[in-house]
Amino acid sequence: MSILITGAAGFIGYHLSKRLIKDGFEVIGFDNLNSYYDKKLKQDRIHNLKKIANEEEGIFEFEKGDIVNSNQLKDIFKFKKNSFSKIKIVIHLAAQAGVRYSIENPKAYIESNLVGFFNLIEECKINKIDHLIYASSSSVYGGNIKLPFLESDNVDHPISLYAATKKSNELIAHSYSHLFNLPTTGLRFFTVYGPWGRPDMALFKFTDLIVKNKPISVFNYGKMKRDFTFIDDVIESIFLLIKKPPVISNNINSTNTKAPYFIFNIGNSKPIDLMQYINAIESILGKKANIKFKQMQPGDVESTFANTDALNNWINFKPSTPINLGVKKFIDWYLEYYK
């Protein structure tokens, strides 16, 4: 079957595309290759995917385009290159990412995360897609203080525009699931990290700055906890969910709806103190960080912690990669990639 992956040049999109190519799926990658961070990293991901497809005799095609452009999306759903079969599964990972950047450039989030999401789900409806899986975010929990976070928790109080757009995606998806019987699965990702990661994320920034003997900024004076989730666990979760679209039931997870609509937390369920995370980086690099402690940033939260019982009940899998192993795999990649 053909699977469309939007955001295929992104961090999660790259790893998912690689897994699906190796498993024999026809993969169509779609990405606008924007300049939110280093375009070379995105281009190298796509180059690597084409190389993997060639070596594995897999099927991968990449098309540059923007989900905000509805005509480009219409064309991709009619994709017939190399006799691709009809797209049956859509995994929507394209979005304007980043909590802090949403304060600086809110328009980018409205265009990509709202207009773009609408364009995409409308095409899924028109083309009678079997299953739409899309990226939400742990940021939808906002300032919630009850831990761990459950999918059934109230998420009506976002503290960043980024979070508000992700919550909006979930609401739009539910309306389409209810009205048009479109199976949708939303994934609330919790601080995903690993090789080929995003340069704006903590692990990448800390590693890069420590290697270059530059100071790192640690906010809220280090009093932060994050449910860091290794990329391989995220990919395994998505891979298993592809094969299990939502069914109409009130007993599967905590979304409590009669629509074919699921929401799942994708997290490691083991929050780590930020200073412990930094210590792991220092230990693997064999270098001490020059730390500049600062106050909390707008839009940030002190702690995240995912309850993943619903995910485990549905696919019999939950993320569990230990932090030291995950950080080492990232640093090994970083040192090799940047020589």
Q: Which residues are known to be catalytic?
A: 162
Q: Could you tell me where the beta strands, DSSP code E, fall in the chain? A: 2-6, 26-31, 59-64, 87-92, 131-137, 184-189, 192-193, 216-219, 225-226, 229-230, 261-266, 272-273, 291-294
Cα–Cα distance for residue pair 75/208, rounded to 1 Å: 39
Quick one: CA dihedral 144, 133, 190, 64, positive or negative? negative
Cα–Cα distance for residue pair 200/198, rounded to 1 Å: 5
Cα–Cα distance for residue pair 46/63, rounded to 1 Å: 10
**How far lies 168's CA from each of 139, 199, 257, 281, 320, in Å?**
12, 26, 17, 35, 29
Contacts for 212 with CB less than 8 Å, ≥ 6 apart: none
- Collapsing DSSP states into helix, strand and coil, what is residue 259? coil
DSSP class of residue 196 equals T
